[in-house]
Structure 1
């Protein structure tokens, strides 16, 4: 069967590359598989449901491939180096961390893609941070907070549209309902990063990266930003993200060949294996990354985790959890349990889509029984299951952006204040400010 073959390939890859997170998820899958056999499920039925759920990873895997190719093609075309060059010239070094949060928030809102924002503007901002000696974990945290602002509150976001679809709420009604809940967390996060910016100032006094970019790239301002402009336009027109990324990759490749003087097969090599043209030099430590190959770990992780969710469905874990939390008395307690389920789902499913689906499936009947409006249910999922996976180290929502930005997937978490403060603010609001009557 295909699933057995793919699992064998996955475990061989995990062992060969010493991919610890992948090994951990695979061991969990194996333990659940054994548990399911003990509970009198047939081997063939478990293989069948693993294969059924494993297939659901295909769409996400295709996005991973495009994201990896996008980053390396933008490095080859001069798009990311151009953003770094002009960013260093115009960014106020005293507010760089705050700027990183604000600009990624804006870009992610227009793109509607957390991974797309991290792999483009995020990579460029990290390049500036490396060249200016700023704490990379703090900058990475500000970028990750920014990309999940758009992922939560953009009409183009696949996550926001998924929530709207699952809950039966119009996407624009959902977005409108979320405005009030995001104001306080966003302001508090901005203040937090403003304070950190004053303590971690970008050093541009002896910054030589700008000269190195000029020496190695043709910064034709009319051409190098075409890949960026195209992807923003396509996103605003609501064109499928894979098409918009594909067009941007093609344009970047053309610019790489005809403007930057790269050989066609060299650009193709960058797209597959990553951009490491300047490896071994100071410049190469900043201008590097991307490639389809860089997405292999994430691909293995998402495939195994999707199969794992199939096993959990088979042994009725979701129904067990639902029964355990059904006796809820207050609105604050209801949201607290939604947050708890989101964290558990995010830890088990290891990707944001599965987190959202599992949370919605477990909590839907409870919200309906308590006569909570669907638009409120959608808002609670956005404020928990959409953002919380980004601070679970082995979840794709955390692991992949960290891999793109070149930071560890644990040390940034204390500084990802936007992710932490959102559910806290909502719990305080429901418990102490709104003061609704007890739930039925």
Structure 2
């Protein structure tokens, strides 16, 4: 910000946000689930234009705003590349029979009564082991969705269970980027953060599991896709199903546990899926390529198409056919488009200081510990909605509230816990946020459809606020001198 810029009023800072939320609401009403196919992207661009007009009126130069946009988009490039790779991975895993194998074996060991609980727990364990909710949802989650559909369950309920578990693991795993980012921003160490976060996270996931169990017992015990034999026959009659196919997802999990970055891990998983297709599914290669001879050419065509284009596998069962289709990289392009547009808006809002002005006003409303934590949680959610980025919902509030927490005698683990309880887990509930858009695309379930069933994600912010108001597990400094010693820990 240059010396010639003027400080925005709160109303002026809110103008782009009001414009954004108003048009997004109109889009959802008019376009429904199709709003992510272009209309929301245009709204984000228009909102960025409104924010730019406000910023220029305050004295900011376009070159500075453009630099903010470039920086914002650059921060999302890893997420974009991961998203494209997930599209390719889903394609080769379908071609190689991995996802069908997961559905095949899953149908034989799960039933509707315990399925939602099992889906949540399994997703939590895998995400905890890998540190990645995105990888968990894109691999295991897609398979669980197929199993749940075969058992006759609505997509939204299945998606809610998968996402609840995946974000529990992502939030608690020491391998997760957000689990490392939150304590860094607040000024505490990783394992203090995880231990302190467990006090609110475990009750939240426990309540979610109880709700899923009740839903399974009361709703699905007598309303199931009762005869799964035709489904199993359709899968086994089309694919060569073998337990060896699980070596491919095991490889991806192993690589991530070994701290191999997500991009190369997903890349190797994609290649392993292609190799699996060559070894186990030559008949699927012929079907997808449309060639019965020259297998080497057919294999090249089928593998390439599975990575970048829409493919589907035909069986003798209509419902199974709906499970065995994927869009490859092409299927992710709308989401990539949305992420870029969201980063343009977020870049203008942050570089112009408009977001800072809004959150600054929020701090003034915090008069006690409960209201301070509630203000922090609200700010995190606000950034997830307006900046459309999970990392910004942790980084900016973390920087803004760190001094305030310390000045009020609160140790930084109080802040880091709130950042995760409110920033990490609510990102997936916003349709135009990078997380919400990505998971909706990967699962093929609109955000607003699975949102009501993401019980863990919904409960978490309220749990951390409740703890603050009841003064439960609120860590405090013994003296101002002790607080001053912690200044050096803040990033």
Same-fold call, TM > 0.5?
Answer: yes
* 1:23-422 alignment, distance < 5 Å: 23-198=42-217, 199-201=219-221, 203-207=224-228, 208-222=230-244, 224-261=245-282, 262=285, 263-278=299-314, 281-327=318-364, 328-422=366-460
- Given that residues 118 and 401 in structure 1 are in contact (C-alpha distance below 8 angstroms), is that contact kept between their aligned partners in structure 2? yes
Q: CA deviation at 1:67?
A: 1.4
CA distance in 2, matches of 1:188, 1:73: 37
Q: Deviations over 1:117-147 (max 9, x none)?
A: 1111111111112222112111111111111
Q: CA deviation at 1:438?
A: 11
What secondary structure does 1:225 align onto? Answer: helix
Structure 2 segments unaligned to the other structure (5+ residues): 1-33, 286-298, 481-491
Q: CA deviation at 1:153?
A: 0.8
Q: CA RMSD in A?
A: 2.4
- Given that residues 331 and 438 in structure 1 are in contact (C-alpha distance below 8 angstroms), is that contact kept between their aligned partners in structure 2? no
TM-score, length-scaled by structure 1 = 0.90
In the other structure, the counterpart of 2:15 is: none
- Count of matched residue pairs: 425
CA distance in 1, matches of 2:325, 2:200: 38
- Given that residues 330 and 438 in structure 1 are in contact (C-alpha distance below 8 angstroms), is that contact kept between their aligned partners in structure 2? no
TM-score, length-scaled by structure 2 = 0.81
- Given that residues 151 and 157 in structure 1 are in contact (C-alpha distance below 8 angstroms), is that contact kept between their aligned partners in structure 2? yes
- Given that residues 306 and 354 in structure 1 are in contact (C-alpha distance below 8 angstroms), is that contact kept between their aligned partners in structure 2? no
Runs of 4 or more, structure 1, over 4 Å off, are 15-18, 435-440
Structure 1 segments unaligned to the other structure (5+ residues): 1-14
1:388–1:190: structure 2 CA closer, same or farther, 3 Å change rule? Answer: same
1:246–1:437: structure 2 CA closer, same or farther, 3 Å change rule? Answer: closer
Q: CA deviation at 1:244?
A: 1.3
CA distance in 2, matches of 1:431, 1:322: 21
- Given that residues 409 and 476 in structure 2 are in contact (C-alpha distance below 8 angstroms), is that contact kept between their aligned partners in structure 1? no
CA distance in 2, matches of 1:312, 1:56: 15
Q: CA deviation at 1:209?
A: 1.8
- Given that residues 318 and 362 in structure 1 are in contact (C-alpha distance below 8 angstroms), is that contact kept between their aligned partners in structure 2? no
Q: Highest Rg: 1 or 2?
A: 2
CA distance in 2, matches of 1:332, 1:41: 37
Farther off after superposition, 168-177 or 88-97: 168-177
